[in-house]
A and B are shown apart, each in its own frame.
Chain A
Amino acid sequence: MTGYFLRRLLWMIPILWLVTVITFLLMHAVQGGPFEAGESKSSSAARAALNAKYHLDQPIWTQYGYYMRGLLQGDLGPDLVNQGSSVNSLLKQSWRPTAELGVLTTIYATVVGVVLGILAAVKRNSILDHLSVGFATIGASMPNFVLGIMLVLLFAVKFKIFPAVGWSHGITDWRPVVLPVLALGSLPAAYIARITRASMLEVMGQDYIRTARAKGLRERVIVMRHIVRNALIPVLTLIGPIAAGLLTGSFIIEYFFSIPGIGRAYVQAILGRDYPMIMATTLLYATVIIVANLVVDLMYAVVDPRIRYS
């Protein structure tokens, strides 16, 4: 099994390399460059000088060679839109908000989803069940930006409890975090609640639960030790892709709440043809997704002894 995961780790190298090739070709296929006439105030001589400085006047494979040489030395290249700064320093500033938003949202979605799902299944057909199914249905029926608008109207404009834009500057400054996390996390929370409830109900119908009841175990022990533990296996494996999706897919919410994260920088980079920034973000996110995928497979093997990789 260790061999299997080592092979998977090694596979990351060719996959990430192909990601660089595809992204490089695609972004250079986008019409226009970072230093186009009309987009900047510089003269044509200055534009030619800039293009030459960043090798943009060379054939594309030469440019790719320059890029890869820098990349292998840990240099993600210059920031073409903000002259004088580098992609490394830009990422250093912007990774935190994105990572914080992703992690907090994953925690929120998991806790709320699992708790609601368990309660709904244990108190099946009660008001609690109907309420949490209702939450799961409504939560899943709105794109996150619509939810964001509603939250801002209610809590920022009407009640003025939380700020409408911005991001926190430390652990005591938690207010700006609340609305983005709610907006981004409610859809996955609803999804996790649905899956948890279905999984709980399935486990509750198993023979070993009847055996546990027949043994005269207390209900609390049956639920916590026998039902929940087994029911959470499929949920656990969902959290990996959900976390990866939240980390890499938060840019609409970053954009909406003006959070200075990577996603927002990426959109600006594409519109400004900032090639090194596009490459860096895609590579970073691709790594996150591949690693999350690998962790899920590892967790499968850990929580379910029947699964053996070879």
Chain B
Amino acid sequence: MAQDGLTGATTPGTIAQPVLQELARAGGGRSLWGDALHRLVQNRLAVVGAILITLIALAAVFAPLISPYPYQRIFPGQIIAGLSASHPFGTNLAGQDTLARVIYGARNSLGVGVFVQFVILVIALVVGGGAALGGKYADALLMRLTDVVYAFPDLLFVILLQQVLAGTRLAAYMGGLFVVFFAIGLVGWVNLARLIRGQMLSLRTTDYVIAAEALGATRLRIVVRHMLPNTLSPVIVALTFGVPSAIFTEAALSFIGIGIQPPLADWGNMIYDGYGAVLATPWPIFFPALALAITFLSFQFLGDGLRDALDPRTR
């Protein structure tokens, strides 16, 4: 009888269907990432953040198509003009359209945020992963290196590096932007490297990694198949929170005149530029500052949502 029951259960279409539905209802029918995505879309603020980030990214990519004017075009006689139909966001001290510059500025500001995270991720993976997996001496050496970089005052080190790199051949790439990205990335990897090392060290003693070792899996397979995916969640969260902080750093550099230089449009240098006319009109500062705030909050909300979605303990 028990035999019949078993075969009955595994026949497709009879009992399996309700069981599957039950599983799906309980949330067990999804993969780890599907499950996380499901929880992420339940978080309204995170969804709003993701939509806004997508819109800003689209504006950045398609800037030449949607911008009413080229960002560097000067309208004579339209210096710090107010809001109007032809210049919805007004114009700046040089007579350039603020809307066009905010749209093009998204390229540099968002570009800084994303590219810096890429630099940070590569360095942190090499240093943090190398420290966790490379043995005692590599660990000691790499962690002392992190201690040294940690000791440097961030913003001041960025300025020094930016000045060094500006004299090299790298300065020719992307109109000097590459140097700014790279300098911020070279300074900001310490916390992520420590996070990756800690995560990997604790994963090394988990049952499933030991089981995989016992089954004779190669080191490479264990790292790629078991350890990296389980390191990914906190890394994604850290990178998401890292984007706005990189954007702030770049904006601060541009604000004191060291980052992205006019005529290139950048939210930081637009605020600096607008400050020169702030007593006459607040609009040249208002719009880039608003764009910065929206971008920052979007990443903040998305980061919060991702952390809740990816952390199994908050279920």
- B-contacting residues of A (Cβ < 8 Å)? 11, 14-16, 18-19, 22-23, 26-27, 29-31, 137-138, 140-143, 145-146, 149, 153, 157, 245, 248-249, 251-252, 255, 263, 266-267, 270, 278, 281-282, 285-286, 289-290, 293
Contacts and interface: CB of A to CB of B under 8 A. Distances in A.
Contacts of A141: 292-293, 296-297, 300
B256 interface: yes
A143 B300 CA distance: 14
A251 B156 contact: yes
B156 A252 contact: no
Interface residues of B, number: 37
B76 interface: no
Given A157-B279, A267-B159, A19 B151 contact: yes
A16 B150 CA distance: 11
Nearest to B163: A30
A245 B249 CA distance: 13
B251 A143 contact: yes
A30 B167 CA distance: 7
Given A22-B148, A249-B154, A270-B163, A143 B252 contact: yes
What 9 A-B pairs come out closest when comparing CB atoms? A31-B167, A285-B153, A248-B153, A141-B293, A286-B151, A30-B163, A146-B289, A18-B148, A29-B164
A18 B167 CA distance: 23
Interface of A is mostly: helix
Nearest to A245: B154
B300 A26 contact: no
A251 B155 contact: yes
Contacts of B271: 145-146, 149
Given A15-B148, A137-B297, A252-B256, A282 B156 contact: yes
B292 A149 contact: no
B66 interface: no
17 contacts: A26-B164, A30-B160, A30-B164, A137-B297, A141-B296, A141-B297, A141-B300, A142-B289, A142-B293, A143-B252, A146-B271, A149-B275, A248-B153, A251-B155, A251-B156, A282-B153, A282-B157
Interface of B: 144, 147-148, 150-157, 159-161, 163-164, 166-167, 248, 251-252, 255-256, 258, 268, 271, 275, 278-279, 282, 285, 289, 292-293, 296-297, 300
Nearest to B295: A141
B180 to A, nearest CB: 15
A252 B252 contact: yes
Nearest to B282: A153
Contact of B152 (A19, A140, A245, A263): A19
B300 A293 contact: no
Contacts of A11: 147
A23 B300 contact: no
Contact of A26 (B161, B255, B268): B161
A16 B160 CA distance: 17
A285 B154 CA distance: 10
Contacts of A252: 155, 252, 255-256
Contacts of A14: 144
Contacts of A146: 271, 285, 289, 292-293
Nearest to A144: B252
A145 B285 CA distance: 11
A286 B152 contact: yes
Contacts of A251: 155-156
A38 B258 CA distance: 21
A252 to B, nearest CB: 5
A14 B154 CA distance: 20
A143 B148 CA distance: 27
Nearest to A253: B252
A33 B38 CA distance: 58
Nearest to B274: A149
A206 to B, nearest CB: 15
A23 B155 contact: no
Nearest to B249: A143
Nearest to A286: B151
B296 A140 contact: yes
